[in-house]
Amino acid sequence: MAKVAVLASGSGTNFEAIAQDLAGGPHGVALLVCDKPGAGCLARAERLGIPSVVIPYGKGGTPEVRRAAEDQMTAALEAAGADLVVLAGFMRILTPFFVGRWKGKLINIHPALLPRHPGAHGIADSFASGDPELGVTVHWVDEGVDTGAILAQRSFPRTPDLSLEDAEARIHALEHELYPAVVRRLLESLS
Ligand code: GAR
**Coil, strand or helix: which one is 67?**
helix
Structural domain that includes position 88: 3-190
At 191 the pLDDT is: 75
Q: Atom of ligand 1 at shortest distance to CA of 10?
A: 16
Q: Are 29 and 6 in contact (CB under 8 A)?
A: yes
Among 16, 20, 109, residue to substitute to test ligand 1 (most atoms within 8 Å of Cβ)? 109
pLDDT tens by residue, 103-154 = 999 999 999 999 999 999 999 999 999 999 999 999 999 999 999 999 999 9
176 in active site? no
Would strands 106-110 and 28-34 be described as parallel, antiparallel, or unpaired?
unpaired
Ranges of residues in the chain with a pLDDT under 70 are 60
Please state, in angstroms and rounded to a whole number, the distance separating the CA atoms of residues 173 and 136: 10
Is pTM beyond 0.85 here? yes
Q: Whose CA is nearest to atom 7 of ligand 1?
A: 89
Q: How many domains does one find in the chain? A: 1
CATH at residue 83: 3.40.50.170
